[in-house]
Chains A and B, each alone.
Chain A
Amino acid sequence: MSLVERQDMMNQETAVWNGGMGSVSDYVALLKPRVMSLVIFTAFVGLMLAPGTVHPVLGVVAILCIAIGAGASGALNMWYDADIDEVMTRTRKRPIPAGKVTRDEALAFGVTLSIGSVVLLGLLVNWFAGAFLAFTIFFYVVVYSMWLKRSTPQNIVIGGAAGAFPPMIGWASVTGSVSLESFVLFLIIFMWTPPHFWALALVKNGDYQAAKIPMLPVVAGETVTRHHILAYAVLLAPIGVAPYLLGFASPVYGVASAVLSAIFVGLSFDVWRKREGDPAKAACWRLFKFSIFYLFMLFALLLGESLIAGA
């Protein structure tokens, strides 16, 4: 609500205000808890793999700040994309289109949490990690949400970097810097993001068309998207195995990641091959669901190995 509107209201005897209707759970929903859970997990793996040690309390603080920063990005994304969310069936029930939280409230909430998480991480852990978190929030909100999402079919390719930074921030929380190993963790998520989202976009193509978002299937067509999915899956495979190839994961990880990557490529090939009707849709769903399992397993294996090594 602008100051002028507020002043107008104050000049009247009484006025009705349509804000202030959000419950605590609505504000939690603004943080995109499901995305946040992935961020927490990957940041934790980055933190655990990093050389050196961090006090457990500071480790918890680092993960907490990264999680809140990710949540703040989600709230700011919902503030900016409220018009799109209203059109798409997948997002129609989010707090802003549902009328539970106003855009101004979401903006204030997102900005407050962004500043709070960055300052807290900088003050309590280290300022390199704090600055990295600030850059990640900026990248997701300004570069992805405000700029790329509505202007290019490469939106999720470049914008996906924001979702890939958390393990690097986790790593930086321990070491105060980044390294080749943390960059490999980034690359795994970065290369994983396009086939993951394009598989969903192929199924939800109508939604994106209605919202006029230039997703690859909308702009270039479903066939080109299938080519891209397969290409990214093939490129992702060696990157998924890279932690073993570069010597910071065991042969067990090497074999497991190779098998998982082969399945990923196989399912992508299935998406590429089946182009019509229900079999095509089922193939996309299979790839989408497996992609989540794939990323979880790679990071879980790395985490397991670091825990065993530290025991």
Chain B
Amino acid sequence: MAEQEKGIALTEEQKKKRRSRSIAIACVLGGLVVLFYVVTIVKMGPDILNRAL
């Protein structure tokens, strides 16, 4: 326990703000995943299904 208390101690306010920022970053990353998925389909078009089985 003593080890965990060393270093920077965040206040409750800082923890709350960090959580909201983390959620926003997660949303952005999720959006990027969707974006790359959609753009891949757009760029490859019908060729996306044209592959050796």
- A and B physically associate: yes
Q: Which residues from chain A sit less than 8 Å from chain B, CB to CB? A: 9-10, 12-17, 20-24, 27, 55, 57-58, 61, 124
Please determine whether B20 and A15 come into contact, CB atoms closer than 8 angstroms: no
Interface of B is mostly: helix
Q: Which residue of B lies closest to A15 (CB)?
A: B8
Please judge, given known A-B contacts A10-B6, A14-B7, A58-B42, whether A21 and B13 are in contact too, CB under 8 Å: yes
A12 to B6, CA, bound (A): 7
B5-51 CB contacts (< 8 Å) to partner A? 5-11, 13-14, 17-18, 20-21, 24, 35, 38-39, 42-43
Known interface pairs A14-B7, A14-B8; 13 further A-B residue pairs with C-beta atoms within 8 A, sorted by A's residue number: A14-B6, A15-B9, A17-B8, A20-B10, A21-B14, A21-B17, A23-B17, A24-B20, A55-B42, A57-B39, A57-B42, A58-B42, A124-B39
**Size of chain B's interface in residues, with CB distance under 8 A?**
19
A61 to B34, CA, bound (A): 12
Please judge, given known A-B contacts A17-B14, A57-B42, A61-B39, whether A27 and B21 are in contact too, CB under 8 Å: yes
A-B contact pairs, 14 of them (CB 8 A): A9-B7, A14-B5, A15-B7, A17-B9, A17-B10, A17-B14, A20-B14, A21-B13, A21-B17, A23-B20, A24-B24, A57-B42, A61-B35, A61-B39
Please judge, given known A-B contacts A55-B42, A57-B39, A124-B39, whether A22 and B21 are in contact too, CB under 8 Å: yes
Please determine whether A58 and B39 come into contact, CB atoms closer than 8 angstroms: yes
Set of chain A residues within 8 Å of B42, measured between Cβ atoms: 55, 57-58
A27 to B25, CA, bound (A): 11
Please determine whether A14 and B14 come into contact, CB atoms closer than 8 angstroms: no
A55 to B35, CA, bound (A): 14
Closest 9 pairs (CB-CB, A-B): A14-B9, A20-B14, A17-B8, A24-B24, A57-B42, A10-B7, A55-B42, A124-B39, A23-B17
Q: Nearest-CB distance from B7 to chain A (Å)? A: 5
Please judge, given known A-B contacts A20-B17, A23-B17, A24-B21, whether A57 and B38 are in contact too, CB under 8 Å: yes
Q: Nearest-CB distance from A54 to chain B (Å)? A: 10
Set of chain A residues within 8 Å of B9, measured between Cβ atoms: 14-17
